[in-house]
């Protein structure tokens, strides 16, 4: 999801005189919260794969609370850096995804028809298919915020996106624009330039 906006943004930033060296000066408050959030989600995935009685209890009774905690950590980290314009865009995307995920038991609903459009070799059944995603059905809440926007083949990186994902992609684009040309705006010494 982030590959295309990152590559496009880096190319544009370079054309605008941006420098990779500037990325070394990126300062993000609360970055460790993002790592902790990611570790929690990885742990949940591992627990699901192990398939133990205690693991089933955790996933059945406490899964949504772990999701709330992980998103809470991400939101706090973003708010600590909210002066950066790309963080404002990230916050919109995160909140939109958070709304639909919490509204659907901690999982992001995905259009199965859309999934068939990007993965014809492995069509998923109409049921929950992993720890973070579930199929869109008649009971799905906030469907318009779910993964229903299809970017199909022959696009080489076919995918299904949500509205929140689009904001996250825009935030990724703005990140490289803002941070790579930061060195140019501040007029750092020439030895920092690549």
Mean pLDDT of 112-138: 64
Task: Tell the residue number behind the tokens 């929690």, with chain if given.
Answer: 40
pLDDT of residue 115: 65
pLDDT of residue 176: 94
* 129 vs 96, higher pLDDT: 96
Taking the model in full, what pTM does it have? Answer: 0.82
CA distances from 154 to 3, 65, 70, 150 (A): 17, 39, 35, 12
Q: How confident is the model at residue 145 (pLDDT cuts 50, 70, 90)?
A: very high
Q: How confident is the model at residue 130 (pLDDT cuts 50, 70, 90)?
A: low
Q: Are 178 and 85 in contact (CB under 8 A)?
A: yes
Cis peptide leading into 68, omega within 30 of 0? no
pLDDT digits (tens, 9 = 90+) for 34-88: 999 999 988 888 887 777 777 778 787 888 999 999 999 999 999 999 999 999 9
Task: Tell the residue number behind the tokens 């068939």, with chain if given.
Answer: 116
For the ranges 17-26, 75-84, 110-119, which has the lowest average pLDDT?
110-119
% of the chain beyond a pLDDT of 70 = 85
Q: Are 150 and 185 in contact (CB under 8 A)?
A: no
Q: Which two tokens stand for residue 78?
A: 């973003």
Q: Are 117 and 158 in contact (CB under 8 A)?
A: yes
- Give the C-alpha separation, 76 to 80, whole Å: 6
Task: Tell the residue number behind the tokens 């299809």, with chain if given.
Answer: 150
Nearest CA to 137 among 105, 165, 164, 89?
Answer: 105
Q: How confident is the model at residue 116 (pLDDT cuts 50, 70, 90)?
A: low
pLDDT at residue 167 tops 90: yes
Task: Tell the residue number behind the tokens 């949500």, with chain if given.
Answer: 162
pLDDT of residue 61: 82
């Amino acid at each position: 999801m982030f590959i295309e906006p990152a590559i496009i943004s880096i190319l544009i930033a370079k054309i605008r005189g941006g420098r990779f060296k500037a990325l070394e000066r990126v300062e993000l408050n609360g970055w460790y919260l993002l790592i902790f959030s990611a570790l929690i989600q990885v742990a949940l995935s591992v627990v699901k794969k192990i398939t133990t009685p205690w693991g089933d209890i955790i996933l059945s009774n406490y899964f949504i609370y772990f999701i709330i905690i992980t998103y809470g950590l991400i939101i706090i980290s973003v708010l600590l850096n909210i002066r950066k314009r790309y963080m404002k865009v990230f916050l919109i995307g995160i909140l939109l995804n958070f709304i639909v995920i919490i509204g659907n038991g901690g999982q992001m609903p995905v259009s199965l028809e859309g999934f068939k459009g990007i993965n014809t070799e492995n069509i998923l059944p109409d049921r929950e298919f992993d720890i973070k995603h579930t199929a869109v059905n008649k009971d799905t809440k906030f469907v318009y915020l779910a993964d229903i926007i299809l970017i199909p083949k022959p696009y080489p990186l076919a995918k299904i996106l949500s509205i929140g994902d689009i904001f996250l992609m825009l935030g990724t684009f703005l990140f490289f624009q803002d941070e790579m040309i930061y060195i140019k705006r501040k007029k750092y010494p020439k030895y920092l330039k690549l």
